[in-house]
Amino acid sequence: SYGMHFLHEGDEIVISVAEHHSNLVPWQRVAEATGAKLVYMYPGKDGRLTLDELDKKITAKTKLVGIAMVSNVLGLRAPVEEIVKRAHAVGAVVVLDCAQSAPHTPVDVKKLDVDFAACSAHKLYAPMGMGALYARAELLEKMPPFLSGGDMIGAVHEHKATWAEGPRKFEAGTRNVGGEVGFAAAIEYMNNIGWEAMEAHEYMLLNRMLSGMRAMPWLTVYGEPVADGRYGVVSFNVNDVHPHDVATILDAGGVAVRAGHHCAQPLMEYLGIGSCCRASVAIYNTAEDVDALLENLENVRKVMGL
């Protein structure tokens, strides 16, 4: 709705090469349809975007910056505040992907001063098929609906229609009421636990995991291997073993990780790998879970005869 109508030939869309496909493919399509140019920011060896890279890529031609607050592969927090400062200085809007950050740390969209923010409900322990979009009211007002159907109209006549006000004009069709109720219940559940307790617990788990992995010289962690500024995930590879084999051997030991490109193929190409394993931690994990992962990682190379 925004990109197709407010971006034009010669405009630049700036995103990170570490973006999830959901915050990458739409901008590829917008660029192809409008003639805008897609510009990538690349992280340093530690997996973090530098201020120098922001200054190089966010220019007077930039009209939109899309960035994940936390990478779903690297687990590292982006310098959102610095990105917003530079984007707004040149009149660009900022789209914040909060899918990986919202389950692990508080996200204050007004304090961050972003123009759009989105998250998916299932990452917050709610049913699938739900999510949330935040946008500045003045931007929503001038954006046209992109789906047509029931409930998004003001009035319909034979040859024209008017739209409902505010977010409702984007909510075409029958609402996912069950998903909405489940989403509200999940948020209440998280609020009852409290952010301070959740962040402290996850930090302990990540620190324990990374400390153990640092003692494994045959294992590569992607992104700076520290718990500070990292949320929820650790991506890694066991040297000389395919990630799918690693995941299968871990599974046989009762440990579930994800192996693949994690819907971030440009990042895989940038890292020079085809895929990797990813261990995720959250409030339901325990120190024993982390220890089981580390113990079974020691077994991977033995099983493969290395």
Q: What is the pLDDT of residue 49?
A: 97
User: What domains does the chain contain, in order, with CATH numbers?
Assistant: 3-190 (3.40.640.10), 195-303 (3.90.1150.10)
Q: What is the pLDDT of residue 166?
A: 84
Q: What is the pLDDT of residue 225?
A: 95
Under a CB-based contact definition with an 8 Å cutoff, are residues 221 and 234 in contact?
Answer: yes
Strands (E), 121-260: 131-135, 153-156, 161-163, 219-222, 233-238, 258-260
Residue type, 99: A
- pTM of the predicted model, to two decimals? 0.94
| pLDDT tens digits in sequence order for the chain, 306 residues long | 999 999 999 999 999 999 999 999 999 999 999 999 999 999 999 999 999 999 999 999 999 999 999 999 999 999 999 999 999 999 999 999 999 999 999 999 999 999 999 999 999 999 999 999 999 999 999 999 999 999 999 999 999 999 999 899 999 999 999 999 999 999 999 999 999 999 999 999 999 999 999 999 999 999 999 999 999 999 999 999 999 999 999 999 999 999 999 999 999 999 999 999 999 999 999 999 999 999 999 999 999 988
Under a CB-based contact definition with an 8 Å cutoff, are residues 96 and 132 in contact?
Answer: no
Q: 119, 263, 276, 277: which is the annotated catalytic residue?
A: 263
Q: What are phi and psi of 128, to 5 degrees?
A: -70, 165
Q: What are phi and psi of 174, to 5 degrees?
A: -70, 130
Catalytic residue flag (residue 263):
yes
Under a CB-based contact definition with an 8 Å cutoff, are residues 143 and 150 in contact?
Answer: no
Instruction: Enter the tokens of residue 21.
Output: 């496909």
Report the C-alpha gap between 118 and 85 in whole angstroms. Answer: 19
